[in-house]
């Protein structure tokens, strides 16, 4: 069977309200407008993988209110056979955006926040040693997911985002590839310089590959003593949401196809640069065809 990537990750509904000012304690405020968007790092990365042409299966939980997320993933070509619909509400965020562009966000983990072990085991029974597992840190049960993947001999990729105390306390020695940004690098290593982050992580996980993204300053790849760098494309960013998710999806899709680290960094930087020139999260992620047709 062809190698697949299992993305066991979050699915969220983002409720976005434009407001004159953030609602204050005791105040009732009318929103100027409302928009409902698909979100969650897990979902965004599955969309990025699919748009980059990778065979991706998304596992995770939604409630009945999240059925449109399942449909969205299916329309993107993501395999949703392992998605579970539970009695909990779908994970969601209440986002206020004020005229200056600042936002304030209330997140409710919902169905992402309690993932039963028997469901995890059932999902992993469909995957084997040829397959890859991609994780972020927006669903509960990271340590169990890591050990289930290792027991099946799967390659494990972790985007350690968002950083939480549970993540910092977890044994991450099962991870074969870390994809992280500078903030996450600082939290994991205590170092703020890219070189020091790479060195500290490589010393701690000598067999792991590391991709460290630096926003408009580019991205590094490191494996043992080997390192390469790719600058970011020069573009006018309008919305950097999902830049990292786009980069992650494209990098993994390229590596799955057997492309080298430098080539994969370059294509991922191009995809992420296109994404930052457009508003929105999943909606801003380019398709492979666009990459070939666009000069950025
Ligand atoms: P995250 O979204 O996880 O914080 P980064 O901000 O590090 O991730 O961005 C990931 C990648 O997206 C960068 O390595 C770069 O290639 C691209 N990118 C991000 N911001 C910009 C930007 N302003 N201009 C061009 N490329 C960008």
Ligand 1, atom 21, lies closest to the CA of 216
Residue 296 binned pLDDT confidence (cut-offs 50, 70, 90): confident
Per the prediction, the chain carries an average pLDDT of 96
Cα separation, 280 vs 16, whole angstroms: 11
Q: What is the CA angle 170-174-178, rounded to 5?
A: 85
Rounded Cα–Cα distance for residues 223 and 207 (Å): 7
Q: Could you read off the pLDDT of 151-160 as tens digits, one per residue? A: 999 999 999 9
Which letter, b or e, does each residue of 112-123 get, where b requires 16 or more Cβ atoms within 10 Å of its Cβ? bbebeeebbeeb
Pairing of strands 219-223, 209-213: antiparallel
Q: What is the mean pLDDT of residues 252-257?
A: 98
Is the separation of the CB atoms in 70 and 46 below 8 Å? no
Ligand 1, residue 182: give the atom nearest the CA.
7
- CB contact set of 149 (below 8 Å; sequence gap of 6+): 124, 133, 156, 174
User: What pLDDT band is residue 294 in, cutting at 50, 70 and 90?
Assistant: confident
Is 245 marked active-site? yes
Tell me the mean pLDDT in the region 245-258.
98
Q: Is the CB of 144 under 6 A from ligand 1?
A: no
Q: Is the CB of 269 under 6 A from ligand 1?
A: yes
pLDDT of 175 > 80? The answer is: yes
For residue 162 and ligand 1, the question of a CB distance below 6 A is answered with no
pTM score, whole prediction: 0.96
117: phi > 0 → left, psi -120 to 50 → alpha, else beta; which?
alpha
Q: Which of 240, 294, 295 to mutate to test the pocket of ligand 1 (most atoms within 8 A of CB)?
A: 240
Between the CA of 277 and the centroid of ligand 1 the distance, in Å, is: 11
Closest CA to 177 of 259, 79, 262, 251: 251
Question: Are 19 and 98 in contact, with CB atoms under 8 Å apart?
Answer: yes
Q: Is 296 in the pocket of ligand 1 (CB under 6 A)?
A: no
Which residue has its alpha carbon closest to ligand 1 atom 27? 216
Which pLDDT belongs to residue 19?
Answer: 97
CA of 113 relative to ligand 1 center, distance in Å: 28
CA dihedral 176, 180, 196, 198 (to 10 degrees): 30
| pLDDT tens digits, one per residue of 40-98 | 999 999 999 999 999 999 999 999 999 999 999 999 999 999 999 999 999 999 999 99
Beta bridge partners of 213: 181, 219
Helix (H, G, I), strand (E, B) or coil at 128: coil
The protein residue whose alpha carbon is closest to atom 7 in ligand 1 is 215
Q: Which of 14, 79, 131, 245 is catalytic?
A: 245
Cα(175) to centroid of ligand 1, in Å? 23
Q: 5-8 and 12-18 as β-strands: parallel, antiparallel, unpaired?
A: unpaired
* 105-122 per-position pLDDT tens digit: 999 999 999 999 999 999
State mean pLDDT over 178-191: 98
Is 80 exceeded by the pLDDT of residue 224?
yes
- Does domain 5-11+41-84+113-293 bear CATH number 3.40.1190.20? yes
pLDDT bucket at 101, cuts 50 / 70 / 90: confident
DSSP SS3 for 198: helix
In this predicted structure, the answer to whether residue 27 has a pLDDT above a threshold of 80 is yes
């Amino acid at each position: 069977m062809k190698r697949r990537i299992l993305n066991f990750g979050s699915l969220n509904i983002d409720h976005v309200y434009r407001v004159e000012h953030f609602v204050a304690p005791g105040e009732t405020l009318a929103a100027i407008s409302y928009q409902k968007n698909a979100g969650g790092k897990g979902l965004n990365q599955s969309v990025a993988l699919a748009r980059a042409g990778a065979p991706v299966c998304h596992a995770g939980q939604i409630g009945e209110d999240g059925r449109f997320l399942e449909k969205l993933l299916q329309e993107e070509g993501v395999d949703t056979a392992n998605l579970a619909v539970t009695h909990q509400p779908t994970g969601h965020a209440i986002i206020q955006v004020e005229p200056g562009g600042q936002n304030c966000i209330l997140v409710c983990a919902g169905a992402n926040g309690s993932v039963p072990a028997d469901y995890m085991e059932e999902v992993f029974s469909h995957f084997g040693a040829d397959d890859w597992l991609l994780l972020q840190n927006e669903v509960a049960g990271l340590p169990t997911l890591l050990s289930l993947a290792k027991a099946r001999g799967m390659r494990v990729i972790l985007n350690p985002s968002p950083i939480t105390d549970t993540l910092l306390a977890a044994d991450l020695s099962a991870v074969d590839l870390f994809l992280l940004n500078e903030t996450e690098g600082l939290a994991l290593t205590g170092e703020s310089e890219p070189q020091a982050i790479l060195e500290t992580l490589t010393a701690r996980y000598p067999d792991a590959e590391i991709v460290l993204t630096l926003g408009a300053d580019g991205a590094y790849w490191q494996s043992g003593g080997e390192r390469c760098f790719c600058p970011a494309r020069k573009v006018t960013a309008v919305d950097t949401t999902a830049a990292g998710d786009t980069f992650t999806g494209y990098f993994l899709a390229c590596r799955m196809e057997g492309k080298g680290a430098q080539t994969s960094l370059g294509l991922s930087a191009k995809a992420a640069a296109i994404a930052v020139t457009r508003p929105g999260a999943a909606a801003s992620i380019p398709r492979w065809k666009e990459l070939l047709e666009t000069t950025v």
